[in-house]
C-alpha cells in the first residue's frame, strides 16, 4: 500500500512527532494502529485521530507531565556511582 501523501495529514503527524519526540514514521504508525483498532479506514478519520493524539500530547505537556524528551533526559543521566565508569576496548 502506498503512503498517504495528504499535506494536512502529514503536517498533523509531523506536529505529533515533534511533540512526542519521535520520528514522523513512528507518529504515522501510531495513528494507523489506532485507526485500524477503531476500524477507521478513510483519510478524514485518520486526521481526526491524529488531531486527538496531538491535543492529548499537548495537554499532557502543558499540565507539567514529563514529555518524552524530559523522560529520555532523566534516563540518560549518569548515577553517582557510575559517573567515572569507563569501558576499555
Give per-residue burial for 43-74: e unless 16+ CB within 10 Å, then b: eeebbebbbebbeebeeebeeeeebeeeeeee
Within a domain: residue 84? no
Which single residue is written with the C-alpha cell 479506514? 41
Within a domain: residue 89? no
User: Each residue of 48-66: pLDDT tens digit?
Assistant: 999 999 999 888 877 766 6
Name 32's Cβ contacts closer than 8 Å, sequence gap at least 6: 46
Q: Rounded to a whole number, what is the distance in angstroms from the first to the last CA of the chain?
A: 46
Residue 24's domain comprises: 7-78
Within a domain: residue 2? no
Within a domain: residue 87? no
- pTM of structure: 0.68
Domains: count for the chain:
1
Per-residue pLDDT of the chain (89 residues; tens, 9 = 90+): 455 568 999 999 999 999 888 899 999 999 999 999 999 989 999 999 999 999 998 888 777 666 666 767 777 776 666 666 666 65
Within a domain: residue 83? no
Within a domain: residue 49? yes
Amino acid at each position: 500500500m502506498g503512503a498517504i501523501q495528504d499535506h494536512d495529514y502529514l503536517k498533523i503527524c509531523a506536529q505529533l512527532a515533534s511533540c512526542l519526540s519521535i520520528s514522523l514514521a513512528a507518529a504515522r504508525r501510531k495513528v494507523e494502529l489506532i485507526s485500524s483498532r477503531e476500524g477507521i479506514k478513510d483519510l478524514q478519520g485518520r486526521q481526526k485521530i491524529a488531531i486527538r493524539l496531538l491535543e492529548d500530547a499537548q495537554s499532557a505537556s502543558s499540565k507539567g507531565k514529563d514529555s518524552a524528551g524530559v523522560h529520555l533526559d532523566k534516563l540518560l543521566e549518569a548515577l553517582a556511582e557510575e559517573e567515572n565508569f569507563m569501558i576499555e576496548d
